[in-house]
Structure 1
């Protein structure tokens, strides 16, 4: 038995606290113990809504005999990949040297210095289908460690050397992609559209090919800059959204989307539901003009994932208890009445800083566009919760918190960028200067050092201490990468009038990946969206108002790069704080200032004039 995980800031770790495995949380203590005992380290990485993580736990980590072998020959570390994304990325990169089938659970064997020498994913409790059992793997690794230590060390060193070489060979900065390059990138992505079922699929895909929402790519294709040069991009996104929203991928009861579909026609979902996917799809639906889907996703975020303290939970599990047994998806197969008599799947209540930033921004934009203060209030509540709970004693952001327990894991560049972007959107929706100032502070903290932007405090201290390299380059998978998130936040600050240095920061972050991103749009959707915003002059709308009125309501519905709704007093406060967009924005109430091509038109005070300006 171990109690080392009982007080963790991760439901995933807490769920393993009573395992017979003597788990350590991620940290220097585990590696020090492995060095003292001269044994290898097992690093088991997963997350709380991972189905096969649950399976391996039940089959192996809860088995006393397996635990005995593990405890006798190894130091075992349990890692929540959502709490420690840098650790996850580093060992995924290392695991790629041993298996092409990367995923979770991720099972990595490393030296006491943290260097991987063997890795895999799920291992069954009994050998099957050509796959060794977990106990067979433990025995083989232990035999190699005790009988062929030099070979093991050479393998570990070779992996580290190869990863470092890959990092050093990352592409040098290139010029910002122009509209022609962005249009070509969009067409590259559109060539993979599944015209029969919507979304994207590789050539030769069968009905058994899984389908993912690919939110960052959809957001790139929705970039206003593409509307004239690749008009089919918008139609492609609309088809994908309609297909997903009308398929079992979307829950018919509460409006939330599942992680992915296991079949090409968006059926048979993998039933876990992620905060990141749903926050992103809220933005997709909003810009597609699908208010019904947008409101449904917002309802799921607030009713299911928002926690009593205000922050948004990381995910909802795929499994639940039905008739005394664990059942994957059975709860979601029932209608509202059928669910009412069941215990719903567990929610991973971990409040991840950056992921909350995604939800805060999406809800703020949705509340503004849909004229729904309830959505804006939910975003404000979450922002206040994260800014209070997810801060360490050194006043730096932390990656996550759970039940007022703050994680020791430092916030990543992704966290700083996504939270800053969400706060900037919330400032525009509420007119509250404090959110814009905090967003500026977060971005400045990442830009203050020498060299490439980075999160304050550096990366993971254990990886740094042992010289374990991370992934060679960041990419936008199911959500924006750290560089993409920071670029987007810097651009948002520029739109608010914070100064040219923020546009330059956004451009530099895009230029660092400008050579590879257009050629690989599926992996760089978020970065390409920022590039598309940088490629054309912005459209900003400042609405000066004190109460609900027809002009403000009409202005809220206009699609722009930035719409800010403020009172006259708030406008003066923004201007005094250095947000130049608001300078001189005074006069009658309500008033709309329409700024395009770096020039503001004459202020508008009536609906007819707003319509005459092309809205």
Structure 2
């Protein structure tokens, strides 16, 4: 019999709708039920492509005896962290403070007033590696709640007080100042110290794609000419592209590598990673002309459109790491890995031997049970382009006959905003109008389904229906970023208007008087504290993403209010950039743009005129950090940057400005490119 999750819109919650555990969604009703019965709440937080979430579900939540014990002694609440990042954030902070680590599934026990008192992540069904069995944990919590309830409530109250004391990130005395040249140089030195010169990336295992830090380094190189910054980007991007973290057959990146060499990934594929990384490779091509960067940017964009696009024109959240291995077992990586024997079955002896050498498939394997993750190891056989293309085509066709990983079709506003920006720019750089069209359709979905007439966003949708949870700061910021990038590419000013609506909501409902930003709106559901975090995680923080969108919007419209809000928000980057540059990379990238201007490029000319197109392309390919671009017919009034910008002696012209003060216009695309670092 279905539990209380049967009518939810989250695919992750629906995966648990038939569990014998009487799950409830996060709701007032769940906590009212706990108060009525006088029992604690089990809060379990995960997401649909989380491998260990699936493991714990199979071992414990599908077990009838465990479920019966939970149903008798607890109210059980299941949360999709992608749908409710606010709930995830406040309780993850408590887990990390109490245990020194975090992760998913997150397992927290709460009082009926939602105050946490016992924490963990994955618990096995039997004691293992020093971890207690889940049933032992349940029994221990139940005993403490029954025998020492007031003591438990006191502990929970102290934890909430401690969390409350952490709230409120101040920007120091005096007027908040964004980072200056010395601050950004100090951040560069910090990244240089942490750079893995042998294998690319930063730090050791597990190794995550450093998308935001790479964007900062590209912009720093563009502003200062630092070859060291560019070398770190190039080396990291090549190592990832050659490694197992990149899908050598179908394109797209896995979430992270479990090792320091990018060889074995955790196989789930996330929308945000691929949007961010696709944009990084496109920007690396723009800076260097690298053939590898061009290939990876295009393959990643094509992966997004082929594998992640939904019927409604948006982009799904994730692909699972696990899939059926052909024997009925759900196994991580089963869709992606190969043995030499499997290569021979598909390719025959000669091509299998060639493919094994080219992709690093060995008898011993690089993964489990003699299987290998495809990569392009150093010393791979010389490229035979036609043969490689044939091998890839046949292996991909064979792989598509395997059981596919599950897909989380939930549309997340923030991550679709990132995808819009990546696809629009990639389509423009490489003359792929199909990618620009895909970006436009996703942006249209955000407006039609997620956005109301007051500029308020729903966090998620599924099958064309908006979910019931309010958008958080990253949704507004990343959607605005996507709209502004799309306007720059298409010349359609309406996207600037939509970005303005979202950013006005940011200023009205997410911004404190001192310029600090909160992750939830001032009228959002009250949790045990209001989450606020300026540091990047897997995607840019809402705080610094908002700073970037505010800065770009101000550059396109001339709005002093939005410019000042961006600069106040960037003050936190000055405080953190030198200390933790890996974790505030997007803020550093935005600070580079602010320091450079950013430059504002207005291109005026008849639509379809080859000279207009040439100037527009030169503007888009300029590497000046965070430069904004507007293009339109002479006399266009849709975008303020285009106002009072006449043709040059009757010819299409481009104006390069800072703070709406412009250099002399040019009709020469090469001269424009030189001005913008193209």
Compute the TM-score of the two structures, normalised by the length of structure 2: 0.84
User: Which residue is 1:528 aligned to?
Assistant: 588
Distance 2:603 2:125 in 1: 62
| 1:481 partnered with 2:541 | yes
* Aligned-residue RMSD, C-alpha: 2.3
- Whether the 8 Å contact between 1:92 and 1:102 is mirrored in structure 2 is yes
Distance 2:535 2:263 in 1: 27
User: Which residue is 2:22 aligned to?
Assistant: 22
Distance 1:13 1:110 in 2: 20
* Range with bigger deviation, 233-242 or 50-59: 233-242
DSSP-derived class of the 1:533 partner: helix
Distance 1:316 1:185 in 2: 34
The structure 1 residue matched to 2:607, chosen from 538, 541, 546, is: 546
| CA drift at 1:440 | 0.5
| CA drift at 1:557 | 2.9
| CA drift at 1:607 | 4.5
User: Which residue is 2:666 aligned to?
Assistant: 604
Deviations for 1:450-508, whole angstroms, at most 9, x for unmatched residues? 62455785364151xxxx02456331122111111111110110221341221111101
| CA drift at 1:104 | 0.2
Equivalent pairs counted in the alignment come to: 601
The structure 2 residue matched to 1:317, chosen from 314, 317, 320, is: 320
- Whether the 8 Å contact between 1:163 and 1:472 is mirrored in structure 2 is no
- Whether the 8 Å contact between 1:357 and 1:421 is mirrored in structure 2 is yes
- Whether the 8 Å contact between 1:476 and 1:524 is mirrored in structure 2 is yes
DSSP-derived class of the 2:35 partner: helix
DSSP-derived class of the 1:514 partner: helix
Distance 2:552 2:184 in 1: 20
* Range with bigger deviation, 306-315 or 92-101: 92-101
DSSP-derived class of the 2:399 partner: helix
* Range with bigger deviation, 541-550 or 334-343: 541-550
DSSP-derived class of the 2:324 partner: strand
Distance 2:592 2:521 in 1: 31
User: Which residue is 1:299 aligned to?
Assistant: 302
Could you tell me which runs of 5 or more consecutive residues in structure 2 were left unpaired when the two chains were aligned: 286-292, 339-394
| 1:382 partnered with 2:442 | yes
User: Which residue is 2:365 aligned to?
Assistant: none
Counterparts of 1:276-291 in structure 2, within 5 Å, are: 276-289=272-285, 290-291=293-294
User: Which residue is 1:259 aligned to?
Assistant: 255
User: Which residue is 1:562 aligned to?
Assistant: 627
Pair 1:430–1:378, CA change in 2 (3 A): same
| CA drift at 1:592 | 2.8
- Whether the 8 Å contact between 2:3 and 2:21 is mirrored in structure 1 is no
| CA drift at 1:133 | 0.8
The structure 2 residue matched to 1:458, chosen from 489, 505, 522, is: 522
- Whether the 8 Å contact between 2:220 and 2:229 is mirrored in structure 1 is no
- Whether the 8 Å contact between 1:111 and 1:156 is mirrored in structure 2 is yes
Distance 1:145 1:536 in 2: 58
Distance 1:212 1:42 in 2: 31
The structure 2 residue matched to 1:195, chosen from 194, 197, 209, is: 197
- Whether the 8 Å contact between 1:175 and 1:511 is mirrored in structure 2 is yes
| CA drift at 1:226 | 6.3
| CA drift at 1:609 | 4.9
| CA drift at 1:192 | 0.7
User: Which residue is 1:33 aligned to?
Assistant: 33
Pair 1:481–1:16, CA change in 2 (3 A): same
User: Which residue is 1:273 aligned to?
Assistant: 269
Counterparts of 1:347-426 in structure 2, within 5 Å, are: 347-391=407-451, 396-426=456-486
Deviations for 1:92-150, whole angstroms, at most 9, x for unmatched residues? 01112331231000000000000000010000111112211111110000000000001
Distance 2:598 2:453 in 1: 39
Pair 1:554–1:531, CA change in 2 (3 A): closer
Pair 1:431–1:456, CA change in 2 (3 A): farther
Deviations for 1:270-323, whole angstroms, at most 9, x for unmatched residues? 000111111111121111112111111111111111111011111111111231
- Whether the 8 Å contact between 1:26 and 1:79 is mirrored in structure 2 is yes
| 1:248 partnered with 2:309 | no
The structure 2 residue matched to 1:593, chosen from 627, 630, 655, is: 655
Distance 2:664 2:97 in 1: 61
| CA drift at 1:219 | 1.3
Pair 1:456–1:41, CA change in 2 (3 A): closer
Distance 1:395 1:350 in 2: 21
- Whether the 8 Å contact between 1:73 and 1:142 is mirrored in structure 2 is yes
Deviations for 1:551-575, whole angstroms, at most 9, x for unmatched residues? 2444443334335353306x61324
DSSP-derived class of the 2:504 partner: helix
Deviations for 1:155-197, whole angstroms, at most 9, x for unmatched residues? 1011111111122475536432211111111111111111111
Counterparts of 1:57-76 in structure 2, within 5 Å, are: 57-76=57-76
DSSP-derived class of the 1:478 partner: coil
Compute the TM-score of the two structures, normalised by the length of structure 1: 0.93
